[in-house]
Chains A and B, each alone.
Chain A
Amino acid sequence: MIDTKITKALILGSGALKIGEAGEFDYSGSQALKALREEGIETILINPNIATVQTSEGVADKIYFLPVTPYFVEEVIKKEKPQGILLAFGGQTALNCGVELFRNGIFDKYNLKVLGTPVQAIIDTEDRELFVQKLDEINVKTIKSHAVENIDNARKAAEDLGYPIIIRAAFALGGLGSGFCNNEEELNALCEKAFSYSTQILVEKSLKGWKEIEYEVVRDRYDNCITVCNMENFDPLGIHTGESIVVAPSQTLTNSEYHLLRELAIKIVRHIGIVGECNVQYAFDPYSEDYRVIEVNARLSRSSALASKATGYPLAFVAAKLGLGYGLFDLKNSVTKSTPAFFEPALDYIVCKIPRWDLSKFQGVSREIGSSMKSVGEVMAIGRSFEEAIQKGLRMIGQGAHGFVANREISVPDIDKALREPTDNRIFVISKAFKKGYTVDEIHELTKIDKWFLEKLYNIHETSVELSQFNDISDLPLEMLRRSKQQGFSDFQVGRLLYKDKIDVDEASAIIRSIRKKNGIVPVVKQIDTLAAEFPAVTNYLYLTYNGTYNDVKYLGDKRSIIVLGSGAYRIGSSVEFDWCSVNALETIRKQGWRGVMINYNPETVSTDYDMCDRLYFDELTYERVMDIYELENPGGMIVSVGGQIPNNLALRLDKSDVKLLGTSAKSIDNAEDRHKFSSMLDRLQIDQPRWKELTTLEDTFDFVSQVGYPVLVRPSYVLSGAAMNVCSNDSELEEFLKLAANVSKKHPVVVSEFIQNAKEIEFDAVAQNGEVIAYAVSEHIEFAGVHSGDATIQFPPQKLYIETARRIKRIARKIAQELEISGPFNIQFLAKENDIKVIECNLRASRSFPFVSKVLKINFIELATRVMIGEKVEAPSKSAFDLDYVGIKASQFSFSRLQKADPVLGVDMASTGEVGCIGDDTNEAILKAMLSVGYKLPKKGILLSTGDAKQKVEMLMACKLLLEKGFQLYATGGTHKFLLENNIKATLVYWPSEKGMKPQAMDLLQSKMVDFVVNIPKNLTQEELENGYKIRRTATDLNIPLITNARLATAFIRSFSAMSIEQIQIKSWDEYKS
């Protein structure tokens, strides 16, 4: 029986996307909210992540864009008086917050019932010692760890266990502060870091080389238990499961192994007393049936989101229902709609998850992958052979690979080492090793990857060798072509292997495509139905495969469907915001009486929830696959402007193939994307832009720089190493960068543009209809230009913009919209200095800030844009709707703490992994909420200041005064100290790491935790200067001390917490902000 006393429930979100906690919790939270609302329960959501689907109108009844911390959650409880709370749907953030609230007695105090797994059970799984004890009670083997509180005991434990050992910080998300140590030296280094995250660390025996297997388990309060999915890591133990390629179901386990682990998982879950969903991870001996339980996650997780997508079983939805007291037998299988939710899905395909890393975005980061997570997103590929799934997946990660083979040659100085010590591109090292003649056995020895996987990869390699023995499609046996497609080769790969770049590879792929279509070598559409076709299912969850002969779907051909291209893997620069856009586009399409069809392959998203559309193709966003689907679906049109850059980049080619693109024409998209075309258009319209030039020689480059002056922004078209973009401040830097990093040539030109300092950056997000702007939002960056717009703190509506500037911006935007005949969403970025305005960029698609401005303004830009694109006449919202009495702040979330060695400084390339958006009655309140939401803590002790160049020092003077007035102890490095003294601000002088022997050292200050806030502004963007403060910034990050590296943001933050205390922050829900 369900608990009818619960009429109002609170659910905690996971906040900004960060490494280890990404979009999967938007999916699980949205599902939980749907499950609660279905029961007529009023839902309250706390989540500052404004770009998510769950924080949209109609998903929860009330939404608080507030930090998910005990203080704010208690305040919301006080105000809303819910009867129940759900802790399992917001990742580790929500879980940790829940445990703390429980320990503080808050749930008892407000008579709040925890729905689902009891908090004590959560604690039993989170506290390693309790966990081991608990599993000992039922004779289940765990990795015995020694919990230690200091470094001496850690050493002792390591000696007892014998190296190699692994270190973990207790109570940390996704393996933060953990790692392997082969000797005492490594142990000393790692312990220091781990202790900064946690007062307790765990020393364990390393089981490197064992298989890693996971089970997703569901239990109801009647003790009924099922395992919905099991998964096997391609990479053996030692690589965090979030960093590992994973397949589902397991492929190398026998029946007795599969069911041994399944039985154990159920036994564990029953003993711990989970109600809802839970994940059990095992280490499994590859040479016997010996195992160890690694951990149990008593909540929805990345793996559970993956398992939901892999099986079609909506784990989060079911878990929420079970939390209300339902039995599994009460609920229906949401795919068949006739059979019960008490069953275990039978798959008739294989899924392959591959992580997406963005390590090249960071200066100095270590590329090795291991026991802590660095990836920022993931893809899931579905196929009916491993070869097919992995090749699809490698294309999906979107880092230039065309599959396992036929890629651009990578240079690997030491293949053995690169196989033994995994990096983010190890799979491609395997490909290279095969080419160099390594055997499966040799690679297995070095990698410990199960030979089954390697044999399958070898099959792909072998086929590629066979294909390259032919030179023309007419010589290639059709059976060979078919087999290649069954092994997941794209037309591009086949084309490249046959024609060896003798003809243009796009042309080659076109030839392959037409020949195979002529010969009936086309993919078929298969359904994911949870029961391997045993029962009829009306499922709309689809994928394409060449390992089959018949389509599961009948096509109506009535042209009443519209395909929306999704955004692919989450990556730095394209994240949950485009999922929100995609979902809203689908909703609008369906509301207007069309069938919405989604193509996307990111398991962490809501757009790949088959409930969100009429048909979901969980498949590639390549030209080839999109065309395959387009030809099958024969839709009324296709939308390429809501999924970020991936669909946008396809527009021109799709248009050339007569795909009916809705909204702005592909030609206009190209005119905005192509730097030359766009620039000459701006000239024609007499719109100013920073001077730039595309250059192919060093001499020309210096010539150009002498005209515009330093600093300049340099964008190479082909990057050898390091970041793709760089700012150079003098000749020597420019020369060094161009020689070492960019390799300038005719084939690889660089774009050099004038870099305007101390200019404001302004975003213009809008929707136009036939070239006429019908809705817009102007927002301003808190930071000056130079910080990537994806990293900047954005204020909307702008509070410090000249009216004249705003007017000019609108005028320019109108001109551009008219000229490009925009119909749909678009975004323009401007630079403004005084009232001098320049256009930097224009995208004829939805931008990152669309959900933020839509939600602050309460006008859904995507809904408007979609209606425009499907051809409705849309009335512009009334002018007064753009007048707001409150302020929204979008702040960025960085994950530097997980990216060992990376310099946590902001620059022209984007580095943030997520964002929050908070609303306040004024800027200070909104800033404070937003900064607390991205994890800043207000300082209580001391502040370490290095405030950059003269201009920035002046800029920060007021803020420093405020700090002094507030009674903070200020510490400052040389130049800053001198400047502060001159301005009568008392501070203690501290020394840079390079000033050896001088005391006090800034580093000692950090280590001893005498400061709890660091402001470290690089003087300029030269490499030398960046390196100067690197140690301080990195140490602050490693020790988890809040750090700001931008003067404008630091000032805004200091102002906000000087102006008001946390207690003064208003606890207001989204709907309480009225314009």
Chain B
Amino acid sequence: MHKYKPATLVLEDGTEFSGYSFGNDQAIDGEVVFSTAMVGYPESLTDPSYSGQILCVTYPLVGNYGVPEDSITNSLSSFYESEKIHIRGLIISDYSFSYSHWNASKSLDQWLKEQKIPGIFGIDTRELTKILRERGSMLGKIVPQGEILDNMEDPNLVNQVDVVSCKEVLTYGSGKKRVVLVDCGVKHNIIRCFVNRGVEVIRVPWNYDFSNLNYDGLFISNGPGDPNHCTETVENIKKALEVEKPIFGICMGNQLLSKAAGASVFKLKYGHRSHNQPVRMAGTNRCFITSQNHGYAVNDSTLGSDWEPLFTNMNDGTNEGIRHKVKPFFSCQFHPEASSGPTDTEFLFDDFIKLL
């Protein structure tokens, strides 16, 4: 019989789940969040928005198609959403030790080991999800047998955006139009979406003052953690609002643009992390299925009078995007670049580029 090393998942409130260790054999803590996406673990794990978090995947069978071999050219990954795995740990129910896919080069287990990320399988992920749903996201730790980890630190106390953002200015692609991309933890598919549309992208660190750069449009990326840490970014955006060049934001970008527009943000009980979030475009019958990964939301009743909601979540009514009533500024809370997830809203990139 295969012998798996026992491991325990402990939550902030004392709840314990027993399972088995896989990936890197090490204890780890973080904010435990769940995602109901059924595919796309290589994409999710490398999504910088998960920085500081231990991810519970509600779909029970994980690892089926292994992990593709990645290559990085000019700081752009070929298959992943960033240069490395950003989750702190992975919680699943049934790990598939054997994988099968033409594009795979290694197993999920091997990849986690290489990147020093622990995992735990054999967990009742549905029960864990129900706990997180009812009591809200909370801290937790994965502790393999024989390891000890006393403290659990709240990753939201740290500015996670600063942790994951690029440290220097990078440029991608070429074209007639040039977009400054404020990197709060950008997913690489956002960059690909611009580059594939013939746009030059200048990727700048989250707190970079881009006002002196020559650009046609401003893009504010997704990113992890509490948007309230990013006051410098908000200040930079406020300045950009005066310039009136087109602005587009995604996820964290929606929250930061909203803050610049005067609105406040609040922490959701357990966030939106899935591929099946329905949103409706304000004042229309147009609805979209979107990919989401965020723990904070914009309180759209606090928006300045020049602004209005652009999208609304059809499940819980929270804000999913805003726009300026007359100027070319808009943003969305969901991920139109998908990867992973549905591609219904990729047209927003086209809409933005048309404005440039």
Shortest beta-carbon distance from A62 to chain B in Å: 34
Within the complex, which residue of A253, A259, A452, A536 is in contact with B338, where a contact is CB–CB below 8 Å?
A259
Residue of A nearest to B125 (CB): A348
A82 at the interface (CB under 8 A from B): no
Asked whether A346 lies within 8 Å of B38 as measured between CB atoms, the reply is yes
Please name all residues of chain B whose beta carbon is closer than 8 Å to the beta carbon of A327 when the two chains form the complex.
285, 287
A877 at the interface (CB under 8 A from B): no
Within the complex, which residue of A328, A343, A350, A440 is in contact with B315, where a contact is CB–CB below 8 Å?
A343
Shortest beta-carbon distance from A725 to chain B in Å: 44
B157 at the interface (CB under 8 A from A): no
Most buried by A among B1, B37, B40, B275: B1
Asked whether A252 lies within 8 Å of B101 as measured between CB atoms, the reply is yes
Residue of B nearest to A349 (CB): B60
Asked whether B124 lies within 8 Å of A348 as measured between CB atoms, the reply is no
Shortest beta-carbon distance from A189 to chain B in Å: 37
A439 at the interface (CB under 8 A from B): no
Bound Cα distance A263, B345 (Å): 11
Bound Cα distance A344, B275 (Å): 8
Asked whether A329 lies within 8 Å of B285 as measured between CB atoms, the reply is yes
Shortest beta-carbon distance from A545 to chain B in Å: 9
B93 at the interface (CB under 8 A from A): yes
Asked whether A346 lies within 8 Å of B37 as measured between CB atoms, the reply is yes
A534 at the interface (CB under 8 A from B): yes
- 1/0 per residue, CB under 8 A from A, across B326-353: the answer is 0000000000001111111000000000
- 1/0 per residue, CB under 8 A from B, across A224-259: the answer is 101000000000000000000000011111111011
Asked whether B36 lies within 8 Å of A224 as measured between CB atoms, the reply is no
Given contacts A346-B37, A348-B60, contact A252 B65 (CB under 8 A): yes
Please name all residues of chain B whose beta carbon is closer than 8 Å to the beta carbon of A536 when the two chains form the complex.
133
B198 at the interface (CB under 8 A from A): no
Please name all residues of chain A whose beta carbon is closer than 8 Å to the beta carbon of B176 when the two chains form the complex.
none
Bound Cα distance A347, B40 (Å): 14
Please name all residues of chain A whose beta carbon is closer than 8 Å to the beta carbon of B34 when the two chains form the complex.
534
Most buried by B among A263, A344, A347: A344
Asked whether A286 lies within 8 Å of B60 as measured between CB atoms, the reply is no
- 1/0 per residue, CB under 8 A from A, across B295-326: the answer is 00000000000000000001100000000000
Residue of B nearest to A348 (CB): B58
Within the complex, which residue of B36, B314, B341 is in contact with A342, where a contact is CB–CB below 8 Å?
B314
Asked whether B314 lies within 8 Å of A252 as measured between CB atoms, the reply is no
Asked whether A345 lies within 8 Å of B276 as measured between CB atoms, the reply is yes
B127 at the interface (CB under 8 A from A): yes
B43 at the interface (CB under 8 A from A): yes
Shortest beta-carbon distance from A269 to chain B in Å: 13
Asked whether B285 lies within 8 Å of A249 as measured between CB atoms, the reply is no
The binding surface of chain B is classed by DSSP as loop
Asked whether A259 lies within 8 Å of B341 as measured between CB atoms, the reply is yes
Please name all residues of chain B whose beta carbon is closer than 8 Å to the beta carbon of A480 when the two chains form the complex.
1
Residue of A nearest to B273 (CB): A534
Asked whether A547 lies within 8 Å of B94 as measured between CB atoms, the reply is yes
Give residues of chain A (531-572) contacting chain B, Cβ–Cβ below 8 Å.
531-536, 547-550, 552
Residue of B nearest to A350 (CB): B61
Residue of A nearest to B123 (CB): A549
Give residues of chain A (12-65) contacting chain B, Cβ–Cβ below 8 Å.
none
- 1/0 per residue, CB under 8 A from B, across A1045-1066: the answer is 0000000000000000000000
- 1/0 per residue, CB under 8 A from A, across B149-161: the answer is 0000000000000
Shortest beta-carbon distance from B257 to chain A in Å: 26
B289 at the interface (CB under 8 A from A): yes
Asked whether B102 lies within 8 Å of A385 as measured between CB atoms, the reply is no
Residue of A nearest to B285 (CB): A222
Bound Cα distance A340, B315 (Å): 7
Asked whether A340 lies within 8 Å of B314 as measured between CB atoms, the reply is yes
A195 at the interface (CB under 8 A from B): no
Give residues of chain B (224-264) contacting chain A, Cβ–Cβ below 8 Å.
none
Asked whether A348 lies within 8 Å of B102 as measured between CB atoms, the reply is no
Asked whether A255 lies within 8 Å of B40 as measured between CB atoms, the reply is yes
Asked whether B338 lies within 8 Å of A466 as measured between CB atoms, the reply is no
Asked whether A455 lies within 8 Å of B98 as measured between CB atoms, the reply is yes
A761 at the interface (CB under 8 A from B): no
Asked whether A253 lies within 8 Å of B285 as measured between CB atoms, the reply is no
Within the complex, which residue of B126, B278, B341 is in contact with A348, where a contact is CB–CB below 8 Å?
B126
Asked whether A549 lies within 8 Å of B127 as measured between CB atoms, the reply is yes
Within the complex, which residue of B38, B60, B68, B129 is in contact with A385, where a contact is CB–CB below 8 Å?
B60
B274 at the interface (CB under 8 A from A): yes
Given contacts A255-B340, A384-B93, contact A348 B36 (CB under 8 A): yes
Asked whether B342 lies within 8 Å of A288 as measured between CB atoms, the reply is no
Asked whether B287 lies within 8 Å of A532 as measured between CB atoms, the reply is no
Asked whether A534 lies within 8 Å of B124 as measured between CB atoms, the reply is no
Given contacts A346-B37, A385-B60, A549-B127, contact A222 B286 (CB under 8 A): yes
Asked whether B102 lies within 8 Å of A287 as measured between CB atoms, the reply is yes
Bound Cα distance A384, B96 (Å): 12
Within the complex, which residue of A255, A384, A452 is in contact with B100, where a contact is CB–CB below 8 Å?
A452
B130 at the interface (CB under 8 A from A): yes
Shortest beta-carbon distance from B336 to chain A in Å: 13
Shortest beta-carbon distance from B42 to chain A in Å: 8
Shortest beta-carbon distance from A475 to chain B in Å: 13
Asked whether A344 lies within 8 Å of B289 as measured between CB atoms, the reply is yes
A356 at the interface (CB under 8 A from B): no
Given contacts A224-B285, A329-B287, contact A548 B1 (CB under 8 A): no
Shortest beta-carbon distance from A985 to chain B in Å: 68
Shortest beta-carbon distance from A785 to chain B in Å: 53
Asked whether A339 lies within 8 Å of B314 as measured between CB atoms, the reply is yes
Asked whether B274 lies within 8 Å of A534 as measured between CB atoms, the reply is yes
Bound Cα distance A238, B64 (Å): 24
Bound Cα distance A263, B42 (Å): 20
Asked whether B60 lies within 8 Å of A455 as measured between CB atoms, the reply is no
Residue of B nearest to A524 (CB): B124
A262 at the interface (CB under 8 A from B): yes
Asked whether A531 lies within 8 Å of B36 as measured between CB atoms, the reply is yes
Bound Cα distance A863, B338 (Å): 53
Within the complex, which residue of B98, B315, B342 is in contact with A451, where a contact is CB–CB below 8 Å?
B98
Bound Cα distance A386, B68 (Å): 23
Give residues of chain B (105-144) contacting chain A, Cβ–Cβ below 8 Å.
124-127, 129-130, 133
Shortest beta-carbon distance from A1061 to chain B in Å: 52
Asked whether B39 lies within 8 Å of A347 as measured between CB atoms, the reply is no
Bound Cα distance A262, B343 (Å): 9
Asked whether A552 lies within 8 Å of B126 as measured between CB atoms, the reply is yes
Asked whether A532 lies within 8 Å of B1 as measured between CB atoms, the reply is no
Within the complex, which residue of B39, B61, B102, B277 is in contact with A255, where a contact is CB–CB below 8 Å?
B39
A791 at the interface (CB under 8 A from B): no
A526 at the interface (CB under 8 A from B): yes
A437 at the interface (CB under 8 A from B): no
Bound Cα distance A339, B40 (Å): 25
Asked whether A534 lies within 8 Å of B36 as measured between CB atoms, the reply is yes
B172 at the interface (CB under 8 A from A): no
Bound Cα distance A226, B278 (Å): 10
Residue of B nearest to A383 (CB): B60
Please name all residues of chain B whose beta carbon is closer than 8 Å to the beta carbon of A329 when the two chains form the complex.
280, 285, 287, 314
Residue of A nearest to B343 (CB): A263
A903 at the interface (CB under 8 A from B): no
A477 at the interface (CB under 8 A from B): yes
Please name all residues of chain A whose beta carbon is closer than 8 Å to the beta carbon of B65 when the two chains form the complex.
252-254, 452
**In the A-B complex, the 10 residue pairs with the closest CB atoms:** A255-B40, A455-B98, A346-B36, A452-B100, A532-B36, A255-B340, A532-B58, A451-B100, A344-B276, A533-B129
Q: A255-B40, A344-B276, A450-B100 are in contact. List 9 more A-B contacts (CB 8 A).
A: A222-B286, A254-B68, A255-B39, A286-B102, A288-B102, A327-B285, A343-B315, A346-B36, A455-B98
Binding site for A on B (CB under 8 A): 1, 17, 34, 36-40, 42-43, 58-61, 64-65, 68, 93-94, 96, 98-103, 124-127, 129-130, 133, 274-278, 280, 285-287, 289, 314-315, 338-344
Q: Sample 23 A-B pairs with CB under 8 A, ordered by A number.
A: A222-B287, A250-B39, A252-B64, A252-B100, A254-B101, A254-B103, A329-B314, A340-B278, A343-B289, A343-B315, A346-B59, A349-B60, A350-B60, A384-B60, A385-B93, A385-B94, A455-B98, A455-B100, A526-B126, A531-B36, A531-B276, A533-B129, A549-B127
